[in-house]
Structure 1
Amino acid sequence: MRTSLALCILMFIVAFPGVCFAQGQVTLPDALRSNEPAKVTQPKKATPPQAKPEHSQGAGQPGVAPAAVQKSSPRPPSPADASRFTRKFEDTFTDNRNHWETGDHKFWRGEIRDGAYMLEHKRNELGWIVSRSMSFDASGDYMLEAEFSFISTGREGFFGLVIGLDKSDKLLKYQRYSTTADGVYMYTERVFDVTPYKIVFISDMVSKTDDANYRKGLNAKNTLTAIHYGDRMYLWVNGVQVADVKYKAPGGDKVGFMAGLECTIKVHRLTYKTITP
């Protein structure tokens, strides 16, 4: 009995019902399939780099670099912190061993008397400076301090602590931390021409500011302190910090003081100290 081709194909499909050839893919019979769910391939995720432990010191740890240390502005010592300072110069004016300028002159008068240096500026403009070279190093950390009092004062008379004075080509270049008799302080950089007797440059680093710590009145003693530490200049009045500014080193090596605008002052003490790190 001859079997037709179509019947043979039908009998083959009945005998093997799980086999087909749809689009060229093979599907296995259920008996041959795994009972586990098919694994879904996920795209690989980038593995984040493992954070290394931080160490303040990298010594003795191969391959581990020291952790970066955030530097903060150094804290300045206070004028009362005696352990941080080394005294380089101090004058309490019991005599004139340091050869300060004295005498009665047209514009000014200087005299050492009763444990003080008295300086009178006779004009009602500008001021008069006296200074000394005392191995002052403007690039190092230091403290300059002056205790003073007003004996008499005219219009806006002032006392100034003169820092890093340099004299060249008839020009005086210096920084001045000063206060009026009413306690208004300021910190400035100045260039003064002695030939026409006038100021040719002024830069206010701290503008005029009233200070509540200042003791007003004639004969009242006050103390101005300037501390250079790190990259800052810190200003103090009577042991209280009142301001700080970015430091700009003056060019000279002389330190002194001045009386300004028709006034007479007494300097009771002038001190220069370096600072121990």
Structure 2
Amino acid sequence: MTTAVAARLRLPPRMADFSRRGFRTDLPAQRAVLERHARNFLAGFNLAVRSWREPHEPLSRVDGEERGFAYEGAAMFAGLLDLATAGRARALDRLLAGPGDAYAHLVHVGAGWLFTAARVPVVPRLPGTSLLRWLAVDGSGFGEVYFGGTPALLRRAARTPGAVWQARLAGCGRALWFAQSACPSGVAEVIGRTPPVARPQLWSGVGLAAAYAGAVDEAARTELLDLVGRHRAHFAQGVVFAAGARVRSGIVPRHTRDTCAQVLGVTAEEAARWADEACADLLDSPDVRAYLEWKARLRDRIARDLS
């Protein structure tokens, strides 16, 4: 694929339609919120197609609370373009420069979609910290379930456990939040069909989605906390990751603040500080085990605070 061919790519809005995806559609309010996020992902991809050399100005026109999803979509295109040009386009570098640094988490996640779209078997080496590159594996898990639905999640969960498998499963859990239209009982039912070893990482992804994407109220979050059971620390770790991404962007929605208060008992800014402190000495490590250690440290802190 050349840059000229890439410039003709478009993702149609119908890709965000949950009925076409085979996702849950009986919760219209939640569905509307999550479909809006998906549409902004597609919009970000298409904006990057048109403006990959100077992506930030058009992305800045996306609503602030939705801009992270647009950067994620833009990163999917940037990753595909860099793959097609053997890195000569430097599209991901451009996307992470300047204002894009505020969305570094989402850019890494979005680049991971190319694992699914192009079946790329390697983790891209993006600019910035080595640690965040493993968010691309999370993004790959999201894309796998977004395109493949619950059957894809169950297949992934049944595979032989390993470090990269754990990182990918969290992304599968995030996508499950969309596939079930943020229904707590629906999410728990699907996770309950997976091997026990897979459930903690899936709940971690659900926590991240609930705090970053939202779509539920206090009562639904209370139901989630009842259903998550002994995996609460994993769920809460996902909430911390969401807070870190939202605070870094400078735009923290009400649902993120409310989730942090209800699940963690702290502000989003405090949760983001936890995330930064837990990885301060791991940032330059290229090993997936450092990424998993980051999560484990956060769970230890959460367990102490929740006990």
- TM class by shorter chain equals under 0.3
Bigger RCO (CA 8 Å, 6+ sep): 1
Q: Which has the higher helix share?
A: 2
TM-score normalised over the length of structure 2: 0.21
Q: Which has the higher strand share?
A: 1
TM-score normalised over the length of structure 1: 0.23
